[in-house]
Chains A and B, each alone.
Chain A
Amino acid sequence: MFSPTPTSNASLPKRLADFPTLPDALDYAAQGETGFNFYSSRGHLNEVLPFADLSAKARDVATNLCGAGIVSGDRVALLAETVPAFLIAFFACQYAGVIPVPMPTPVAFGRRDAYVGQIRNQITSSGAVMVITPLEFMPFVEEATDGLDLLLIGTLDDLRAQPQADGLSAGGPDDLCYLQYSSGSTRFPKGVAVTHDNLMANCAAMNVAVNVSTEDRGVSWLPFYHDMGLVGFMLGCLTSQTTVDFIPTEEFARRPLAWLRIISENLGTMSYGPSFGYELCSRRFSSSNAAAPNLDLSSWRVAGIGGEMIKPQVMHAFADLFKPYGFADTAFNASYGLAECVLGVSFSTPGHGMLLDHISKQELGDNHRAVPIDDDGSGAGRTFVACGGVIDGHTVEIRDDDGAVMAERDIGRVFFSGPSVMQGYFGDQEATDACLQDGWLDTGDLGYFWGDQLVIVGRSKDMMIVNGRNYWPQDIEWTVERMDGMRSGDTAAFTLEQDDGSEQPTILVQCRPSAADIREALVDDVRSSVQNQVGLACDVILVPPRTLPKTSSGKLARGKAKANFLSGEIQPLAAGA
């Protein structure tokens, strides 16, 4: 019979991310009783990993890394399943001064080739010399590493079977701490490179922003291959010696109510998710008619929302549904961030709930101004959720296209500077220079200030976020343009924003044939290719040849294509009969 780690340490004083490096943070946390717990979606406690055990096991495995021939600064790719083995390998890398690269696990029917291609791209882009994976994913990893000359491809146990040797030591504050691949496309991956200094600066600021105390306990189902799961809960909570109860992401997706049950049973206080995570809970709770007499969510102090555009009506529905179970909507904490800034950029004040700004659609579209209007139900406005104030020690500027700083309520590009800003994209100077200049990061997002509140209205870069997952238009276009009869430059993919804040993936396809049945078949083929290769349900719209605009260098002008489509300058062809 074993029990989860306690919420508070008996005597070890709380320190909030004031450590030079991540190994220092773990060494300190290891002096207490707190740690990480791993639950199944049926609420079963599978494994308990106190920080003390994590530290001891990781130190041990660090000697195997050395014995396997790793040298300081090498990259090691880790399939980031929500299990202790991933954390042990991750921190073994830290103690050995090598750079872990968390990689995704497969989650969908079919699409084996797409998944294998994605992890192969990440392995080659990072130059990883070793891949550590759970046994069940070994066939995918073997296929993905075919022809690559690596030191080891295997499980944590395989790594432990390597000879032990000393001679590697942890990196310093200026050394890279990890690479994160959630921001690039699957075809053209970009690894966000972050130092220990960057990480600590962001963790310290986030701990302050949400008032972390000895009473706090995290609960998380977010994957370790995304910044919110990796930094928000695994690293952020470790740097404040905070116990976290983890549920594997795929188990959450199967049985989302496990999230709420664990918060209830363990008196969780902090938990985050994108809007769709809350939506999933509401949907399942309503459809299951689950009577939950023992559910008590009153301990939940910070119900964080981030990772995609926040849908206020989804959050209201969740709050209404779970109010009888002690959930207070004042716990909602809207935030904004991105991996290029480690994680967090702005946070709402804990206990204040969501702040809504209802602004004129016309002013938004025509003049790029956020002009508040009454929400009279006429549809003339759109409601945005304020993402809180900028974290301590960092600065956000809203700039126009010429780089000039804009006034309050003017909508422009969001720039960020401060000690959390990444070093760059690993091994990709061109991509780094495109977004990082003089210490200022172009986040690629569009927003405005409302007093000290940062409000995000959309993205100027092309990334699509659907149900919390990131997709890149380049991947969709590349897929379609490889089909028979298609040419490079024949397509433009983007999302169309809906009034409820969701985004509909859409692809314009230049179509030469005029026969109705051929057109109809083309629409079906494009839709199923995108569904199969990218895993996204896309609206397919046929347009006449030579209507998609190009840049002066002959590349697709994606933003202009979207604008021309919305303005009616590009007219859709009739798809079929």
Chain B
Amino acid sequence: MSAEPSDGASQDVRAAVLEVLQTFNKTGVNLEDGTRFTEDLNFDSLLVMEFIAALEDRLDISVPLNVLPDIETVGQLVVATEQIVREEHG
């Protein structure tokens, strides 16, 4: 594991988030930074959990619940996920 996150690592996280999210995207909406989970993607609380589980498995991380209420868009999720990856995988 590298000590400093490189731009490359950050790109990997973004790609992984989008890849997992695409499998849960039943609305066909384009996934952009401003795409909103509830309004645009129709995520309900069950789907959120199912998606988080898939993301955790994909990146081998544990997403703490307290980050969820502040995440409304795909871009915010990418930033939060990058931070978790940095903390857990240094």
Q: Which of A107, A108, A110 is close to B36, meaning CB atoms less than 8 Å apart?
A: A110
A106 touches which of B37, B43, B50, B69 (Cβ 8 Å): B69
A136 shortest CB reach to chain B, Å: 4
Nearest to B42 among chain A residues (CB) is: A537
In the complex, the chain B residue whose C-beta lies closest to that of A138 is B66
User: Inside 8 A of B36's CB, which chain A residues have their CB?
Assistant: 110
Decide if B4 is an interface residue (CB 8 Å cutoff): no
Chain A residue, CB-CB nearest to B46: A467
Contact of B65 among A105, A276, A528, A531 (CB under 8 A): A105
- Is B52 within 8 A of A111, CB to CB? no
Is residue A173 contacting chain B, with contact meaning CB distance below 8 A? no
Bound state CA distance, A137 and B70, in angstroms?
A: 12
Beta-carbon nearest neighbor of A111 in chain B? B69
Contact flags B6-19 to A (C-beta < 8 A → 1, else 0)? 00000000000000
Chain B proximity of A445: nearest CB distance (Å): 24
Q: Select the stretch in A250-258, A361-369, A477-485, A567-575 that faces chain B.
A: A250-258
**Does residue B79 face the partner (Cβ distance < 8 Å to A)?**
no
Q: Is the CB of A535 within 8 A of B45?
A: yes
Q: Is A550 an interface residue (CB 8 A)?
A: no
* Pair B45/A107 contact, Cβ less than 8 Å: yes
Residues from chain B with Cβ under 8 Å of A352 in the complex: none
Of B44, B53, B69, which one neighbours A467 at CB under 8 angstroms?
B44
Chain A residues near B44 (CB, 8 Å)? 108, 467, 535-537
Residues in B with CB closer than 8 Å to A531 are 38-39, 42
Q: Verify B71–A254 contact, CB threshold 8 A.
A: no
Q: Report A515-542 residues with CB < 8 Å from chain B CB.
A: 528, 531-532, 535-537
Q: Is the CB of B38 within 8 A of A532?
A: yes
Report chain B residues within 8 Å CB of A2.
Answer: none
Residues of B within 8 A of A137 (CB): 66
For A105, what are the chain B residues with a Cβ–Cβ distance below 8 Å? 65
Q: Is B28 an interface residue (CB 8 A)?
A: no
Decide if B48 is an interface residue (CB 8 Å cutoff): yes
A253/B50 contact (C-beta < 8 A), A108-B45, A110-B36, A535-B38 known: yes
CB <8 Å contact, B72 and A109: yes
Given contacts A467-B44, A467-B46, A531-B39, contact A112 B53 (CB under 8 A): no
From B48, B64, B71, B72, A107 is in contact (CB under 8 Å) with B48
CA distance A284 to B53 in the complex (A): 11
- Whether the pair B53, A254 counts as a contact (CB closer than 8 A) is yes
B31 nearest CB across to chain A (Å): 14
Cβ 8 A contact of B68, one of A108, A139, A536: A108
Task: Using CB atoms, name the residue of chain A closest to B41.
Answer: A109
Per-position binary interface string of chain B over residues 50-77, scored 1 when its CB falls under 8 Å from any chain A CB and 0 otherwise:
1011001000000011101111100001
Q: Which of B38, B52, B64, B71 contacts A136 (CB 8 A)?
A: B64
Tell whether, in the assembled complex, residue B53 and residue A255 are in contact, meaning their CB atoms are under 8 Å apart: yes
Contact A136 B53 (CB under 8 A): no
Structural contact, B48 and A108, CB atoms closer than 8 A: yes
A109 B71 Cβ-Cβ under 8 A: yes
Using Cβ atoms and an 8 Å threshold, which residues of chain B touch A276?
46
Inter-chain contacts of A112 with B (CB < 8 A) = 69-70
- A467 CA to B45 CA in the complex, in Å? 9
Q: Which residues of A contact B43 (CB under 8 A)?
A: 108-109
Q: Inside 8 A of A250's CB, which chain B residues have their CB? A: 49, 65
Q: From residue A138, how far is it (CB to closest CB) to chain B in Å?
A: 9
- Asked if A280 is at the interface of the complex by the 8 Å CB criterion, the answer is yes
Give the docked Cα–Cα distance between A554 and B37 (Å). 38
Name the distance in Å between B56's Cβ and chain A's nearest Cβ.
7
Min CB–CB distance A132 → chain B (angstroms): 16
Chain B positions within 8 Å of A528 at CB level: 38-39
CB distance A110 to B38 under 8 Å?
yes
CB distance from B79 to the nearest CB of A (A): 14
Cα distance, A536 to B43, chains bound together (Å): 9
Q: Which residues of B contact A (CB under 8 A)?
A: 36-39, 42-46, 48-50, 52-53, 56, 64-66, 68-72, 77
Q: Which residues of A contact B (CB under 8 A)?
A: 105-112, 115, 136-137, 139-140, 250, 253-255, 276, 280, 284, 467, 469, 528, 531-532, 535-537
